[in-house]
Chain A
Amino acid sequence: MGKHFGELAKIRGIIQYRLSPFEQRAFAGAISKGLPNIFVRIRSNIFRVLPPFVVAYLIYDTVEKKHEKLMRKNPKDYENDE
Chain B
Amino acid sequence: TNISMWWNFGSLLGVCLIAQIATGLFLAMHYCPNTEAAFSSVAHICRDVNYGWILRTMHANGASMFFICIYLHIGRNIYYGSYKLVHTWSIGVLILFATMATAFLGYVLPWGQMSFWGATVITNLLSAVPYIGTILVQWVWGGFAVDNATLTRFFALHFLMPFAIAALAMVHLLFLHQTGSNNPLGLKSDTDKIPFHPYFVTKDIVGFIILFTALSTLSLKEPYLLSDPDNFIPANPLVTPVHIQPELYFMFAYAILRSIPNKLGGVVALVMSIAILFALPAYKSKFTGTQFYPANQLMFWIMTNTVLLLTWIGARPVEDPYIVTGQILTTIYFMYYIITPLTTKHWDQLNK
- A49 contacts the other chain (Cβ, under 8 Å)? yes
Evaluate contact between B301 and A49: CB separation under 8 angstroms.
yes
Name the CB-closest residue of B to A54: B305
Q: Is the CB of B298 within 8 A of A48?
A: yes
**Size band of the A side of the interface?**
20 to 34
For residue B178, which residue of chain A has the nearest CB? A2
Give B67 Cβ to nearest chain A Cβ, in Å: 20
B304 at the interface (CB under 8 A from A): yes
Report B-chain residues with C-beta under 8 Å of the C-beta of A15: none
Instruction: Say how far A20's CB is from chain B's closest CB, in angstroms.
Output: 16
Is A13 interfacial (CB 8 A cutoff)? no
A5–B177 CB distance below 8 A: no
A-chain residues with CB within 8 Å of residue B308 when the two chains form the complex: 56
Q: Is A8 an interface residue (CB 8 A)?
A: yes
B134 interface hit (Cβ, 8 Å): no
Inter-subunit contact A52/B301 (CB<8 Å): yes
Sample of 13 more A-B contacts, CB < 8 Å, known A5-B195, A63-B321? A1-B178, A3-B190, A5-B193, A8-B191, A51-B301, A52-B298, A52-B301, A55-B305, A59-B309, A63-B322, A66-B321, A67-B316, A70-B321
8 closest Cβ contacts across the A-B interface?
A56-B305, A2-B177, A9-B190, A52-B301, A8-B190, A52-B305, A52-B302, A48-B297
Listed by A's residue number, 8 A-B pairs whose Cβ atoms lie within 8 Å are A2-B179, A8-B191, A49-B297, A51-B301, A52-B304, A56-B305, A56-B309, A60-B309
